[in-house]
Each structure stands twice: as C-alpha cells, then as structure tokens.
Amino acid sequence: MAGAGGMIRVMHERCDLEASEVDRFGDTTWVLKASNVPCEMVPLDSSEQTQRGVAVTTTYQWVTRSTLIPNVQTNWRIIWRGRDFNVVGHVEDYYLRGRLQHRQAVVKFIQG
C-alpha cells in the first residue's frame, strides 16, 4: 500500500491491517495490528526513519491522504515476502439521527 503516509511491508502472514478514523480532511489513520510478527513501516518521506521490530502488543499507526469514497470498494496493494497481496477495502459510514457519527475504512488481505 502506498500513499502520502508511507508503505507497509509485512514479513509474516499472521497480521491484520486496518484503517480507522477517516477524518473530515480525508486523512486515514492506518493501523497494522500484529502479534509476534516482524514487520516494518517504510515512510515515503525520506526525513522519517523506517520503523522495524517485532510487534507484540504494538500497533503501527500512520496517516495517509485518502481518496476513499464511502460505501465504494477500493483496492490497495502491499508487499509480503516479495509477493503481492491485494488489500481490498471499503469505507463504512455510521449515522445517528441523520448525522454522521463515525467513518471507518475496513480492509482485508487477498493473496495475489
């Protein structure tokens, strides 16, 4: 997955990538949830350092400019062990009494 915030490379299949809190500016906070999984987040901005480590209870979070459209499926790609994985996602809007309360993006892995 490439975006303004960075690219995620996952070195193990036991992981869960999700996006949450698509804010009113269109930015998405991406969260990689992993359990004992070696992974790294590679920022596209060269002024930032690559984060590496074994995620135990840690989640990696970063923000990227989103072009997601609510209720429309969107595709991303990530790299895992040199192989492409398609990341299929969509945005869900939650309304209360006709007003938008929460927006989240949900993604899942599909091996390419």
At 26-58, the pLDDT tens digits run 555 555 444 444 444 444 444 444 444 433 333
Amino acid sitting at position 82: G
Query: pLDDT band for position 7 (50/70/90)?
Result: very low
Query: 67 exposed, middle or buried (CB, 10 Å; 0-12, 13-18, 19+)?
Result: exposed
Q: Is 44 within 8 Å of 5 (Cβ atoms)? A: yes
pLDDT in tens, 59-90: 334 444 444 444 554 444 444 444 444 445 55
